[in-house]
Amino acid sequence: MLSIKNLSAAINGKTILKGLNLEVKEGEVHAIMGPNGSGKSTLASVIAGRETFEVTEGEVTYLGSNLLDMPAETRAREGIFMGFQYPVEIPGVSIANFMRTAINEKRKYLGLEPMTGAEFLKLMEEKKKMVDIQSKLTNRSVNEGFSGGEKKKNEIFQMALLEPKLSILDETDSGLDIDALKVVANGINLLRRKDNATVVITHYQRLLDFIIPDFVHVLFDGRIIRSGGKELAIELEEKGYDWVKKEK
Amino acid sequence: MDNIQTTLAKDKLLALFAREEEAITAFSTPLVNRIRQHALSRFRQNGFPATSKESWRFTDLTPLLNTEFTFDFSNQSRSMDIEKIFTCDVYDLDTFSITLLNGWFVYKNAPLTKLDNGTIIGSLAKAMELYPELVDQYFGKTAKTEEHEMAALNGAFVQDGLFIHVPDGVCMEKPVQLINIVDAQQPVFLQPRHLIIAGKNACLTLVHCDHSLTHNVSFTNTVAEIFAEENAVIDHYKIQNKGRNSALVTNTYFHQKRSSKVTSNIITLNGGFTKNIVDVTLAEPDTISEHYGLYLADSNQHVDNQLYIDHLAQNCHSNQLFKGILDDEAKAVFSGKVMVRPQAQKTRAYQNNRNILLTDDAKVNTQPHLEIYADDVKCSHGATVGQLDPEAMFYLRSRGLCERTARQMMMIAFASEVVQKISIEPLRDRIHDLVEKRLKGELSICDQCVLHCNSKEPTTFNIDLSKL
Amino acid sequence: MENNSDKILEEVTGSDYKYGFYTDIEMDQAPKGLSEDTVRFISAKKNEPEFMLEFRLKAFRHWQTLGEPDWAHVNYPPIDYQDIIYYSAPKKKATYESMDEVDPELLETFEKLGIPLEEQKMLAGVAVDAVMDSVSVGSTFKKTLAEQGIIFCSFSEALQKHPELIKKYMGTVVPYTDNFFAALNSAVFSDGSFAYIPKGVKCPLELSTYFRINAANTGQFERTLIVAEEGSYVSYMEGCTAPIRDENQLHAAIVEIIAHKDAEVKYSTVQNWWPGDKEGKGGVYNFVTKRGICEGDRSKISWTQVETGSAITWKYPSLVLKGDYSSGEFYSVAVTNNYQQADTGTKMIHLGRNTKSTIISKGISAGHSNNSYRGLVKATRRAENARNFSQCDSLLLGDQCGAHTFPYLDVGNRSTIVEHEATTSKISEDQLFYCLQRGIDMEGAIGLIVNGYAKEVLSKLPMEFAVEAQKLLSISLEGSVG
């Protein structure tokens, strides 16, 4: 589904990713771990198409197409979803309006009829239950005045509505207490299917107690320096990042 | 110019200039005299600022110009034992102290000193004699005589004032304290001129104290040109504590080059009529310019602070915070303008003016203006006029404070936001004391700013807390 | 030849301006230029009472002594006031019993504008008094209104039928001496609307007037007067679109509102006159004086405006809060794109005790435009416990435009609290990217964010106006970023 080969990327002339390789197939869950500043969030932003990052080398193929050629909104419509580490507030724009616009833009792109108000409301109710989101929340402006937990739940709620093929979740566990973490993890697990894939980016192993990854990768200094199964995460937790750094 | 009185005053001054030209121009470099002629023609054309001009709309000079002022053009810098008049009573504040008496430099040892580190401090008139190239390089380069009538007037009559040049890479650790004293038996009109240069990577702290010794009428119209070269750091403090018959117009120009930092603090404790014009040019990228002000006015005092910050280059940061408390029939004007030019991307500019009115006869006119032509900017401004927060008052009282104490505490807290910005600790403590005294009604005019005055007849100015 | 120039015009303007067309209707015009004769011509043409002519002449003589104001942050070439036609009216006499009698071409124009005079409006509960080139051509629902004693008609009609009311109130809020454009309007105004709500009556319909400038080189000088008697309520909507014209058109209107004791008036405007083309050519000069007075205790007036059109806007809907406990509101969204210039804001003059005012202004600048907020909040010594809160934000879309904020706060008593806050920033890249990542394209994202930004103001508009205004915001900003 996603194939990253020798990817290098820079921001303001500073190289962050330095020849990164990653293969993600349908039905898989990958966890990318690494210390602060290793390039985890940069990787997420590059896949989502943030223009502040400049791809200096390498290629990224998504469902057989060159991903790097597509603008951010096309990537989204092709099924890439990014769960933001710091979801931005958009005052005055309700989540309901925001999501309905997003869904209909995607449907238009796919040549489908726009969803009617009633259909959308029904869909929203259904997904709300899935991520245990309060009814009132969807009438509020996007992320405005949300607590850390609400913001992250809202990300998962949007993911549920947009039904992506590939989800990149950037530090979705940061700033969550254990209850919120369970809700978020549960949502992600419910959305897991044979035909989609998830990349979970995290600093701590904690989240991986709830979302069992098929693969764990350690990102350090812009490169994946070690890959393995879920046991790698446990080993990392015990020995710390210094361990892999030394091994390198 | 649309006013008979100001026109008369203008004509008198022009005639005076014609009469005294020889004396006035005697100590200046040829270039300064050429700049003088230009300023004179500006003054001839524009005269005094009229209230029809937006920046002078609420500040009328006319009543001040009725006085028959005396002028002293021949009084060259002279030697004098200043301590007979003053002693500095900030004991912990070790300063390099200089005094201007009625606009002229007075000194103990020499009119112009070159310190071991190469810094030149002293009389501007003397500097024009000894370092003409240095003066010519900077003089008149940032003062806006075209635009500012009072700067044009000063430019026409310029003779003496303070000159400081801190060479590249030198840090003046001792603050320089300028004491501007007015002591005259007759009404005087003074126009000191200061030229202050901090070279590349240099640093300088300047404490500028305006003070009057007698209760006679005086009119002081100052121009200060202050240059911060690349990476220079300048801290500028102005403490104004003048008699109620004194009028003070200050025109302060800051010119900042790359990565320089200017912090300015204007504390107006007393003064009959005060207008401070601060004009800042952020000419090169990455500069920081911070401007703080506090004004406490009562009786019929008038305080006007006018700031203009011109962002010409990218990634500059400016901040303005001015706060005032007004009692009796006092009147305050604040007009702050931030200009962000198209090339000044990544500008951050903040502007804030807060006022407390204690009576129904006090007045505030505030105009915080933003003019922005670049898009990648973060600018905000705010202004408030009101009273002490009743909820906070209640909170204090619910903790057992009596109303009077609570009020005092709140007012001091209101003022201290500005005072806290003073980075020299002894000076900050001293100003804090003065503000506290002022707000408790214990400050007399001769219980001086940073100085101590030996005058016999102290006048007290009270802000009456019971009126809150 | 003519065909050719039409083509060029079409190419230049493209289809950007949805309402860009004009109607060929015979015009009854005054000769070009302004003199006492012009003033007399207009007054005679409209068969006005003597006091009206006197008022006009006084205003004209005063106007001759004035100079154009130059303090606003706008630039435009000098206007030749002698090169303007000061009166034009559709030739057919404009008093119809039913819609069938109205010139079909005119009706078609309204149709294209999306102003159905018929059933749709009735279903929406709106009575429309459509003004085309200053003369009222049709009024509906007068009967419904008349049953309650409400007068809603053209200004000319009011002059014939209710001269005493006009004489009593006209010029009391905006005297002809007020400013250059107010004097000009007072001398040459052609028509406008008049609304009178009697004591205790809550007007059951949204009163609505559509203005439209049509004839080339014709200044438009409307005059609106709204009087709300004790305890009454009315919501008044003004909306306008203008056809594309190659020469600048001057518009200098006056709106006066009087709210007596316990009365409430809501005045909403959506202004979408032709802003000029992408190069800044053409467009309407909109120099308007709008002012209301809260005359009685506890009265309330609110201005809500969405300004997207005009080449130059000079407009400060103001309020004089005279009655104790009276309150005023000003909600504004002003969008400028291409070479548009807007200098707009409000004045809140607090005279009465315990008066309250709120100002919410949202400026959005794009292209090469300049957008200024200019506002005065004044509390006199008598205005004890006056309270004002102002929030004036500017949003920048592009690095060639300007956003300026010029508040003036004058406070003269100790119990008043005035607060002003403002921010200026560019549209957030984080917000845009967030939208893009969810599959919304750039224009859609800007539309969403801008509408969200303006929501606080849009929500104050009557429902059907709000929908139109939202669309307008997006349309006005098309092609501004990308």
* Tens digit of each residue's pLDDT (9 = 90 or more) over C115-139: 444 433 333 334 555 554 444 434 5
Candidate ranges A136-140, B100-104, B309-313, C118-122; pick with highest mean pLDDT: B309-313
| DSSP element (H, E) containing C357 | strand C356-366
| Interchain pair A76, C442: CB under 8 A | no
Q: Which chains touch A (3 or more CB pairs under 8 A)?
A: C
B454 or C460, greater pLDDT? C460
Least CA distance to A105: which residue of chain C? C440
C142 or C66, greater pLDDT? C66
Res A119 pLDDT > 50? yes
Provide the pLDDT confidence category of residue B92 given band limits of 50, 70 and 90. low
| pLDDT for B383 | 92
| pLDDT for B224 | 97
| pLDDT for C333 | 94
Residues of chain C with C-beta less than 8 angstroms from the C-beta of A99: 438
User: In a 3-state reduction of DSSP, which class is residue C452?
Assistant: helix
Average pLDDT over residues C300-325: 93
What DSSP designation does C61 have?
Answer: H
- Give me the residue from A48, A49, A105 closest to C444, CB to CB: A105
Residues of chain A with C-beta less than 8 angstroms from the C-beta of C449: 90, 93
C245 or C175, greater pLDDT? C175
- Per the rule left: phi > 0, alpha: psi between -120 and 50, beta: everything else, C57 is alpha
Provide the pLDDT confidence category of residue B275 given band limits of 50, 70 and 90. very high
Average pLDDT over residues C75-103: 66
Share of chain B above pLDDT 70, in %: 88
Interval A203-231: pLDDT, tens: 878 888 888 899 999 999 999 998 998 88
Interval B3-22: pLDDT, tens: 667 788 899 999 999 999 99
Q: Which is nearest to B373 in space by CA: B401, B418, B342? A: B342
- Range with the poorest average pLDDT among A127-141, B58-72, B292-306, C395-409: A127-141
Least CA distance to B383: which residue of chain C? C420
C233 or A239, greater pLDDT? C233
What is the CATH number for A112?
3.40.50.300
Interval C235-254: pLDDT, tens: 998 876 555 454 567 889 99
* A217 CA: distance to closest CA in chain C (Å): 25
Res B237 pLDDT > 80? yes
Interval A2-25: pLDDT, tens: 999 999 999 888 999 999 999 999
Candidate ranges B153-162, B203-212, C152-161; pick with highest mean pLDDT: B153-162
Rounded CA-CA distance C131/A54 in Å is 56
Res C10 pLDDT > 50? no
Res C272 pLDDT > 50? yes
Res C108 pLDDT > 60? no
Q: Which is nearest to C366 in space by CA: C482, C223, C477, C282? A: C477
Res B155 pLDDT > 70? yes
| pLDDT for B450 | 35
**Extents of the domains making up chain C:** 24-315
Interval B340-374: pLDDT, tens: 999 999 999 999 999 999 889 999 999 999 999 99
Residues of chain B with C-beta less than 8 angstroms from the C-beta of C416: 357, 385-386
Share of chain B above pLDDT 90, in %: 56
Residues of chain A with C-beta less than 8 angstroms from the C-beta of C435: 73, 90, 98, 102
The amino acid at residue B279 is D
Provide the pLDDT confidence category of residue A174 given band limits of 50, 70 and 90. confident
Residue A214 sits at φ, ψ, to 5 deg, of -85, -35
Domain span at A234: 2-247
* B272 CA: distance to closest CA in chain C (Å): 19
Whether B409 is in a domain gets the answer no
- Range with the poorest average pLDDT among A216-220, B234-238, C100-104: C100-104
The amino acid at residue C65 is T
User: In a 3-state reduction of DSSP, which class is residue B385?
Assistant: strand
Res B194 pLDDT > 90? yes
* A74 CA: distance to closest CA in chain C (Å): 6
Provide the pLDDT confidence category of residue C232 given band limits of 50, 70 and 90. very high
* Mutate: best of B365, B370, B391, B466, partner C, most C CBs <10 A: B370
- Residue C412 contacts by C-beta under 8 Å, 6 or more apart in sequence? B360, B362, B363, C379, C380, C381, C383
Average pLDDT over residues B418-442: 84
CA distances to B185, B218, B392 from B70, rounded to whole Å, are 10, 9, 51
Rounded CA-CA distance A149/C229 in Å is 53
Q: How many domains does chain B have?
A: 1
Candidate ranges A197-206, B432-441, C169-178; pick with highest mean pLDDT: C169-178
B179 or C293, greater pLDDT? C293
Q: Enumerate the H helices of B284-402 as residue ranges.
A: 390-398
Q: At what angle do helices B30-46 and B149-157 cross, to 10 degrees?
A: 140
Average pLDDT over residues B110-118: 90
- Residue C292 contacts by C-beta under 8 Å, 6 or more apart in sequence? C173, C255, C256, C257, C258, C259, C265, C267, C301, C303, C317, C318, C319, C320, C328
Interval A10-66: pLDDT, tens: 988 899 999 999 999 999 999 999 888 889 999 999 999 888 889 999 999 999 999
Average pLDDT over residues C445-453: 90
Rounded CA-CA distance C161/C334 in Å is 37
Candidate ranges A174-178, B52-56, C17-21; pick with highest mean pLDDT: B52-56
Res B277 pLDDT > 80? yes
Q: Count H helices, E strands: chain B?
A: 8, 24
Q: Which is nearest to C307 in space by CA: C343, C280, C338, C266? A: C343
Exposed e or buried b for every residue in A29-43, given b needs 16+ CB within 10 A?
Answer: bbbbbbbeebbbbbb
The answer to whether B271 and B248 are in contact (CB under 8 A) is: yes
- Range with the poorest average pLDDT among B343-352, B392-401, C352-361: B392-401
B94 or B113, greater pLDDT? B113
| pLDDT for B88 | 47
**How many CA atoms within 13 Å lie on the side-chain side of C13?**
22
Rounded CA-CA distance A41/A81 in Å is 14
| pLDDT for B356 | 93
| DSSP element (H, E) containing B348 | strand B347-357
| pLDDT for C220 | 77
The amino acid at residue A57 is E
What is B409-446 written as a DSSP string? HHHHHHHHHHHTT--SHHHHHHHHHHHHHHHHT--BTT
Q: How many domains does chain A have?
A: 1
Provide the pLDDT confidence category of residue B83 given band limits of 50, 70 and 90. low
| pLDDT for C19 | 45
Q: Is C36 on the interface with A (CB under 8 A)?
A: no
Exposed e or buried b for every residue in B219-249, given b needs 16+ CB within 10 A?
Answer: bbbbbbbbbbbbbbbbbbbbbbbbbbbbbbb
| pLDDT for C9 | 33
Q: Which residues share a beta bridge with C131?
A: C136
The answer to whether B241 and B210 are in contact (CB under 8 A) is: yes
| pLDDT for C264 | 97
| pLDDT for C31 | 72
Whether B324 is in a domain gets the answer yes
| pLDDT for B43 | 95
The answer to whether B151 and B181 are in contact (CB under 8 A) is: no
Res B69 pLDDT > 60? yes
Residues of chain C with C-beta less than 8 angstroms from the C-beta of B359: 414
* C345 CA: distance to closest CA in chain B (Å): 14
Res B152 pLDDT > 90? yes
Average pLDDT over residues C336-358: 94
Q: What is the ipTM of this complex?
A: 0.83
Average pLDDT over residues A91-101: 85
- Range with the poorest average pLDDT among A233-242, C77-86, C144-153, C211-220: C211-220
Q: Dihedral of the CA atoms A63, A65, A67, A70 (nearest 10)?
A: -120
* C163 CA: distance to closest CA in chain A (Å): 47
Q: Which residues share a beta bridge with B381?
A: B351, C422
Q: Is C99 on the interface with A (CB under 8 A)?
A: no
* C478 CA: distance to closest CA in chain A (Å): 17
| Interchain pair B384, C414: CB under 8 A | no
User: In a 3-state reduction of DSSP, which class is residue B102?
Assistant: coil
A near B: at least 3 beta-carbon pairs less than 8 Å apart: no
Res B105 pLDDT > 90? no
Least CA distance to A141: which residue of chain C? C452
Instruction: Return mean pLDDT, chain A.
Output: 88
Domain span at B358: 4-388
Average pLDDT over residues C330-352: 94
- Whole-number CA gyration radius for chain A: 18
Average pLDDT over residues B244-260: 94
Average pLDDT over residues C40-53: 90
Compute CA C116 distance to the chain's CA centroid, rounded to the nearest angstrom. 21
Q: Give chain B's end-to-end CA distance (angstroms, integer).
A: 41
Write out the two tokens for A35.
Answer: 């210390």
